């Protein structure tokens, strides 16, 4: 199939699709990928739906996401993805992907510099602050594209080892959180992340386990022994939603330069846990106090009087 733009001077929107692998053995999940671009620019803000059908004609539709969570590695890069776990028997499965833009929702992305921002550093025992972090928005570019619809073939893949009429939700763990962020707000720490699913990236999870330590390796090497944060009031949201949580650390006194490391596990209702999330760092930086205007005025007056006094003394000789 050839894709053409409405105008000969406009590049066409191209959609391609494929699976992460051509063969899968249960219970290994596979990932559906769809790339949507116009020229070299990713296309964002569109609906991308995978249609997966087995040899007996059973269809599963799956909305693909470009949110940087779950199976999607990078947010807003024009690559939409999702885990596929709804196996219905062994054999060959075919993939088609429908991409649609309606009511001028599609836009082009111009990639921004996403270098890690460091708020400050220690030098000779003193905290030196860097300039404020520049604002970064998710809508990277204002350029819009025309409405369009594309149906793309993603080929086929083969599945083996699927038990008959099995409950697959008990086999696959919750999704791993990969975008956990932490920052100090006063004497509290604010967390934010994208909600994973109960089964990889599907279904609402049962609960979260949040642990904290002043040492990175405590969380990396022995997560279960790190200090536990009370999350009794934290109810997981639907997959893909933005989660936020705030708490006051009780491990030690919070001073200028105090650093804590935090990580999360997601819990399935059957006590199946996800992998430990990325480890987020929160450092308490207290900006140095600026001298007040009255103080400056007093200092200037004192300096002026000293100079005047010196001039009077010199004039007597």
Task: Kindly list the domain boundaries of the chain, sorted by start residue.
Answer: 13-109+118-170, 181-283
Q: Which CATH architecture has domain 181-283?
A: Sandwich (2.60)
Question: Position of tokens 């990078």?
Answer: 74
Same CATH fold, 181-283 and 13-109+118-170? yes
* pLDDT of the residue at 266: 96
pLDDT > 70 in the chain, percent:
74
* pLDDT of the residue at 313: 37
295 versus 75: the higher-pLDDT residue is 75
* pLDDT of the residue at 102: 77
Of the candidate CATH numbers 3.30.470.10, 2.60.40.1930, 2.60.40.1890, 3.40.190.10, the domain formed by 13-109+118-170 belongs to 2.60.40.1930
Strand segments (E) across the chain: 13-19, 23-25, 30-38, 41-44, 47-54, 59-63, 79-84, 91-101, 107-108, 120-123, 126-129, 148-160, 181-185, 188-194, 207-213, 227-228, 242-247, 259-267, 280-283
């Amino acid at each position: 199939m050839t894709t053409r733009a409405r105008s000969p001077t406009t590049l066409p929107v191209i959609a391609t699709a494929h699976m992460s692998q051509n063969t899968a053995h249960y219970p290994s999940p596979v990932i559906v990928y769809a790339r949507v671009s116009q020229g070299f620019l990713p296309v964002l803000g569109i609906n991308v739906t995978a249609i997966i059908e087995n040899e007996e004609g059973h269809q599963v539709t799956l909305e693909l996401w470009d949110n940087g969570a779950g199976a999607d590695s990078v947010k807003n890069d024009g690559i939409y993805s999702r885990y596929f776990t709804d196996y219905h028997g062994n054999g060959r499965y075919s993939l088609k992907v429908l991409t649609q833009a309606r009511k001028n929702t599609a836009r082009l992305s111009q990639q921004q510099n996403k270098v890690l921002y460091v708020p400050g550093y220690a030098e000779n025992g003193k905290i030196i602050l860097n300039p404020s972090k520049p604002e970064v928005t998710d809508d990277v570019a204002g350029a819009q594209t025309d409405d369009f619809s594309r149906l793309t073939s993603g080929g086929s893949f083969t599945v083996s080892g699927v038990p008959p009429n099995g409950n697959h939700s008990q086999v696959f763990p919750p999704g791993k959180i990969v975008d956990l962020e932490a920052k100090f707000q006063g004497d509290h720490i604010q967390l934010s992340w994208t909600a994973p699913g109960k089964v990889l990236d599907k279904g609402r999870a049962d609960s979260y386990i949040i642990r904290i330590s002043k040492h990175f390796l405590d969380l990396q090497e022995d997560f279960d022994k790190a200090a536990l944060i009370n999350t009794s009031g934290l109810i997981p949201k639907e997959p893909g939603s933005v989660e936020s949580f705030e708490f006051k650390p009780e491990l030690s006194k919070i001073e200028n330069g105090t650093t804590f490391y935090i990580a999360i596990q997601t819990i399935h209702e059957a006590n199946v846990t996800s992998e430990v999330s990325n480890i987020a760092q929160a450092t308490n930086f207290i900006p140095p106090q600026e001298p007040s205007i009255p103080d400056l005025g007093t200092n200037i007056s004192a300096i002026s009087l000293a100079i005047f006094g010196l001039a009077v003394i010199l004039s007597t000789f």
